[in-house]
Amino acid sequence: MVTSEAFRQWALAFEGAVEAPHFDRTAFRAKRIFATMPADGMSANLVLTPDQQEMQCGLYPEVFSPVANKWGERGWTTASFAAAQGPELRAALEIAWQNGCRK
C-alpha cells in the first residue's frame, strides 16, 4: 500500500514540480498538470498517453484503470494506493511527470 504522503513526496521530488489546488483535488504540475489527488488520499489520477495507459493497465490491472470519462479515453489513468506496492506507481508517476514537462 502507498500512502498519500509518500505519493506527495515522490511527486514533489521531480524537477520543477509544484503542488497547487485544482477544483476539489490537489494537482501536481511541472509545465502542465501531471497528476491529481483527491482529498481522501486513496488514489491519484496520472496524465498518461493512451498507449502508456494501456501498458500500465495491462501490467498492473489491480493498480491502474482508465478514468471513467472522456479524460480516460485521452490517457488519464487512476492509480489505487491500496493496491499499489510502490515501484510500479513511482515508475508511472515519472512517466506522467515527463508528459507534464512537455508543453
d(CA 16, CA 41): 22
Q: At 89, give phi and psi (nearest 5°).
A: -75, -40
The band of 45, judged by pLDDT with boundaries at 50, 70 and 90, is: very high
Residue 2 belongs to a domain: no
**If you average pLDDT over residues 15-30, what whole number do you get?**
96
**If you average pLDDT over residues 34-62, what whole number do you get?**
98
d(CA 3, CA 102): 27
Q: How many domains in the chain? A: 1
Coil, helix or strand at residue 62 = coil
Q: Is the pLDDT of residue 102 over 90?
A: no
Residue 43 belongs to a domain: yes
Residue 69 belongs to a domain: no
| This prediction's pTM | 0.95
Residue 52 belongs to a domain: yes
Residue 80 belongs to a domain: no
- Domain carrying residue 42: 7-18+33-60+92-103
Residue 71 belongs to a domain: no
